[in-house]
């Protein structure tokens, strides 16, 4: 039976590769984006495709997209929370508005769409929710405080959500990609904090040069990640977490080693904190 997918941010970047892989597999796709004409043009025509408007920061859009999906295809098997943005900068220089916008798109946005999808999946007694996170959800990086806040939050929310929806036959998976050659670092997707604290000036210049220089040089192939995603979704059991890319695997292993080192360094003190009985 053909699966029915919903993919957010399907008109560009990684989401476009996901969309093309789903259609190539023969499944049905509800492709969403803030500009549906752009999404439709990017993906191309298909009898298995429904394009709908969805700004993930608007709960009403999410509810309307889910309703349209069910009316067209009758069910929803897979949700891919992919839409994202990148507000780069030092925390002291990031404006409160920029922090709010980052969280609205990359954390609250997936919550809005998932909240709209869950009733459908509960009625079905089955469904898979995949959220595209980042290695910035595993380890904090300089100049990425806003982005890491959203991605660490996304990972924690997804882990907790699994405990709540698992009894209904719903599975979740966190995907932590490393550097993939997408449009995330283009001027359209990356916003920089305004220069406001002179103490950061030299490092800010270096960081901006790094991020701009990394655009188009990433080693990860999003088309291969898209194929991997369709493979994982078709497994008998969805992995709870998938490290996407050799750099992601290395970084996660580094984080595990660091955590173990810190536990071992203070194990005696950590173990001495129970109430005396």
Helices (H), 44-196: 59-73, 96-103, 109-124, 145-165
DSSP 206-274: HHHHHHHHHTTT--B-HHHHHHHHHHHHTSSS--SEEEESHHHHHHHHHHHHHHHHHHHHTHHHHTT-S
* Angle, CA of 217, 223 and 225, to the nearest 5°: 90
Catalytic residue among 90, 147, 192, 200: 147
- Is 90 part of the annotated catalytic residue set? no
- The set of catalytic residues is 147
């Amino acid at each position: 039976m053909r699966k029915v997918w919903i993919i957010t941010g399907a008109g560009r970047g990684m989401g476009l590769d996901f969309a093309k892989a789903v259609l190539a597999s023969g499944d049905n796709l509800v492709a969403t984006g803030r500009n549906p004409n752009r999404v439709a043009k990017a993906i191309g025509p298909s009898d298995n495709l429904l394009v709908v408007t969805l700004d993930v920061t608007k709960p009403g859009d999410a509810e309307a997209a889910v309703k349209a999906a069910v009316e067209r295809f009758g069910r929803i098997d897979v949700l891919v929370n992919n839409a994202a943005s990148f507000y780069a900068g030092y925390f002291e220089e990031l404006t409160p508005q920029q922090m709010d916008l980052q969280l609205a798109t990359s954390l609250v946005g997936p919550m809005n769409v998932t909240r709209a999808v869950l009733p459908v999946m509960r009625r079905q007694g089955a469904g898979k929710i995949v959220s595209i996170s980042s290695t910035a959800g595993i380890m904090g990086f300089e100049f990425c405080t806003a982005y890491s806040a959203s991605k660490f939050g996304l990972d924690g929310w997804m882990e907790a959500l699994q405990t709540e929806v698992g009894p209904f036959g719903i599975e979740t998976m966190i995907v932590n990609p490393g550097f993939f050659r997408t449009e995330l670092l283009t001027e359209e997707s990356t916003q920089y904090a305004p220069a406001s604290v002179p103490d950061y000036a030299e490092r800010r210049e270096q960081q901006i040069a790094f991020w701009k220089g990394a655009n188009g040089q990433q080693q990860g192939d999003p088309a291969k990640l898209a194929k991997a995603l369709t493979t994982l979704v078709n497994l008998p059991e969805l992995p709870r977490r998938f490290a996407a890319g050799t750099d992601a695997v290395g970084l996660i292993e580094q984080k595990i080693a660091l955590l173990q080192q810190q536990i071992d360094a203070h194990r005696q003190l950590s173990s001495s904190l129970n109430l005396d009985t």
